[in-house]
A and B are shown apart, each in its own frame.
Chain A
């Protein structure tokens, strides 16, 4: 099977022969990317294409519809949970669409899908503005991440990425163009609301629509005022960071001697509306961070000794204070924090005034080094429910050990957003490269438990969650059918 000659030639005429290829090597390299389940079959695309403009994207989608060819879209292809599940798919790679405009006065940026967070951030910093890099890394696409979930520790104060979505330029699965928010009325991207119902909900969601609702070619994304000082980088490779101005920022690591105390302290911090980042620090993260640069062996040498000594009752919080607007605000926040810590019997320790993984970089992938593969079970819940679910996952993990490696029931990652309104709980588990399937089996069991426990899973398994959550996949299919009559947008 292959893409019909006529269709391929039309694609060539749209983007030029240089930017479309059905060479097996080009297509093989686009077979899948990092977040793909090992058990699912990933097909080699029939061709890969690199449009440079919205008009080209629209024309490609129309060709896909005319010839009933499935298409899958990627922006940076870091974690396309989407990949080609059907033969003769067109893989639409949007890396060449990388225009970026910043409206300093009105605090938003207009980005195309090829723009990554670190690049946007660098341009924003120069203007005393900022955005927030998601946990996966600054090399993820702003568009792909924002129309998915977009969670980052800085969401404690500023919420999740999808809430920053403003005007949207959207090529629907049938090739029609839809402009949303203020963009539908003028050429402005400044506001997410517009006439008629707000259709952003069709795009956003815990794990987004995974390419099944057409292609976003441009979005407006809200940005925030920030310090005007230049944030100089320092350090090498895995030890690099940017220096934060000490008159405006302060990091605290705080040890609590019971999980309840830590949870209560988090709620209290939210109630007092202070801090930019509040999250727990699983000891295993610290282990990974401490042993970076010495390879897997160095980590296990450290961890085999440190792991068993962990006190599972303890919980460490990491808090970044930010004097929004003034030094005085930082002083105030510090006083409030230390009061709260005292109330709950925590031990605070000031940490260096710098940032490794929140503003420019983030290194989720580095966790792989300790085993070869890691997977995480993620749920979104209230803070205390998140911690409860993490204990459930601990139990399930024990049943899968080995091959799942020892993390010594180290406490999990609880990362609350919106001043504690919602919390992400991420349980990180490791296995060697060869034991990839073990993680999948572990994850399946966790999803069952998550569904039974009523937690809200990231990337829920439709078969497990569908019946519990009001048969949402059927409703989703109906919506999709209305937008995608030829069933070409990432089917399967």
Chain B
């Protein structure tokens, strides 16, 4: 959460040019898929956009505006996909996303937010350490019998709530993949929710509790590397935990890799080969949390020199995310033909689930995913591949609702088919 002075400075620096609503203009391939911001594209009023929210942040801070029903609606419909943030950093260097996140926190502090569904997540986490309120004892029920995790290993697989409870096939594929690649790995005996949605919905106290617990557990495990197959967990471990602790990613007591980064490295080192053909035309969806939001976090205490020099600041501009490894993997599997969508890499259109939207506004999440499914359909691919359980979930629903006839896979499932 930004401190008030910095929050104000950032919001005031926005000149409302509207660039935040578009992908990199040089990358626009058609009028049909020429927008970037889901809330802007769906709801159109300027309030439903980054510059609208930044202006509201200023007005709210100055006491000219309260959290009206529409402000709440716009604020909590935002998927925090970060498209606006990196677009602005092409031109203006405003910390757009941090202002929106801070506005959410202010809303929570004033007892107006988050949405009831988000509060329920928090209740569930308090009760059973996962957002679904499922039995904590069943967290590792997904583990296949044919896989025996190590008691001690350099690699720790951090599973996350969605793959532990809702999409066990992803956790299973990851575990089998590691095991078939001969990589000893362990899992935490007492993994708690990563807290991803708690961070996103401004419920920071509880989010911090999750961070403290998981960081300690990781440290105690003695693991050298944490691997995750969940883009949300990846971003949370890499950026949110250091952020809430006012540290930088490099100062954390662990390093985190997405499974695609790890496998890509194994392939490059000649330690893993995909021998089986997987004949399939696929298109790849970049999860926001693995792409533009997945950059390392750099802690910075605001310090300015005139005219507007942010002294000692390292910028996060969205291009240090994980974009190539999943593509390298797909291209490295015989039989796979990768056909790209129009909006890819840092210009990718969000799946719609993030920022707590999938939880509180499933219809809007589905609409957003529907836009992506339509875009995927135009590639002529048979399947959409992604790297995040919630992307898989909502894109799967959308592909069906839009009658695209496309299947949606997590990349771990494809890798497992190719290695077996």
Query: A241 at interface (Cβ–Cβ under 8 A)?
Result: yes
Q: Given A23, A233, A295, A356, which contacts B93 in the complex, CB threshold below 8 Å?
A: A295
Bitwise interface map of B from 11 to 53 toward A, beta carbon under 8 Å scored 1, else 0: 0110111110110111111110010000000001111010111
Specify which of A19, A28, A242 is in contact with B64 (CB 8 Å cutoff).
Answer: A28
Q: Which of B31-89 contact A (CB under 8 A)?
A: 31, 34, 44-47, 49, 51-53, 55-56, 59, 64-66, 68-71, 74, 86, 89
B346 within 8 Å of A (CB atoms): yes
Q: Which of A286-333 contact B (CB under 8 A)?
A: 292-293, 295-297, 300
Q: Which of B31, B51, B59, B91 contacts A369 (CB 8 A)?
A: B91
Contact at A29–B56, with CB atoms within 8 Å? Answer: yes
Which stretch (B126-134, B165-173, B312-320) binds chain A? B312-320
Q: Given that A122-B31, A300-B309, A372-B13 are contacting pairs, would A25 and B22 also be in contact in the complex, using a CB cutoff of 8 Å?
A: no
Once A and B bind, how many residue pairs between them come within 8 Å at the CB atom? Answer: 186
Known: A295-B93, A433-B9. A237 touches B56 (CB 8 A): no
Query: In the bound complex, what is the Cα–Cα distance between A366 and B93 (angstroms)?
Result: 9
Nearest chain B CB to A8 CB, angstrom units: 15
Contact between B308 and A432, CB atoms less than 8 A apart: yes
Interface SS of chain B: helix, strand, loop or mixed?
loop
In the complex, the answer to whether A96 meets B15 with C-beta atoms within 8 Å is: no
Given A50-B45, A77-B18, A296-B93, answer yes or no on A372-B346 (Cβ-Cβ < 8 Å): no
Main secondary structure of the interface of A (DSSP, over half): mixed
A23-B68, A432-B306 known; A368-B91 Cβ under 8 A: yes
Known: A34-B16, A96-B44, A139-B18. A237 touches B311 (CB 8 A): no
Q: Which of A25, A138, A370 contacts B65 (CB 8 A)?
A: A25
A–B Cβ pairs within 8 angstroms, 22 of them: A19-B44, A23-B71, A25-B74, A28-B59, A29-B55, A100-B31, A137-B19, A138-B22, A138-B25, A139-B17, A233-B24, A235-B26, A237-B86, A238-B89, A238-B90, A240-B24, A241-B26, A292-B90, A293-B315, A366-B90, A366-B91, A433-B308
Asked if B52 and A29 make an inter-chain contact with CB atoms under 8 angstroms apart, the answer reads yes
Chain A contributes a number of interface residues (CB within 8 A of B) equal to 70
Instruction: List the one stretch of A357-365, A415-423, A450-458, A466-474 in contact with chain B.
Output: A357-365
> Given A26-B47, A29-B46, are A372 and B307 neighbors across the interface (CB < 8 Å)?
yes
Cβ of B311: which chain A residues have Cβ within 8 Å of it?
297
Chain B residues lying within 8 Å of A122, measured Cβ to Cβ, are 28-31, 34
Interface centre among B93, B311, B315, B319 (most CB of A within 10 A): B93
- Chain B residues in 8 Å Cβ range of A24: 65-66, 68
Pairwise interchain contact B26-A361, C-beta atoms closer than 8 A: yes
Find out whether the CB atom of B307 lies under 8 angstroms from the CB atom of A405: yes
Knowing A21-B45, A29-B52, A363-B90, the reply to whether A371 touches B68 (Cβ < 8 A) is no
The reply to whether B319 and A365 contact each other, CB–CB distance below 8 Å, is no
Query: Which of B45, B56, B311 has the most chain A CB atoms closer than 10 A to its own CB?
Result: B45
Is B92 close to A, CB under 8 A? yes
Question: Which B residues from 326 to 384 make CB contacts under 8 A with A?
Answer: 346
Residues of B within 8 A of A34 (CB): 15-17
Does residue A430 face the partner (Cβ distance < 8 Å to B)? yes
Contact with B along A230-265 (1 / 0, CB 8 A): 000101111011100000000000000000000000
* B245 interfacial by beta-carbon distance below 8 Å: no
Give which listed residue, B24, B45, B308, contacts A93 with CB less than 8 A. B45
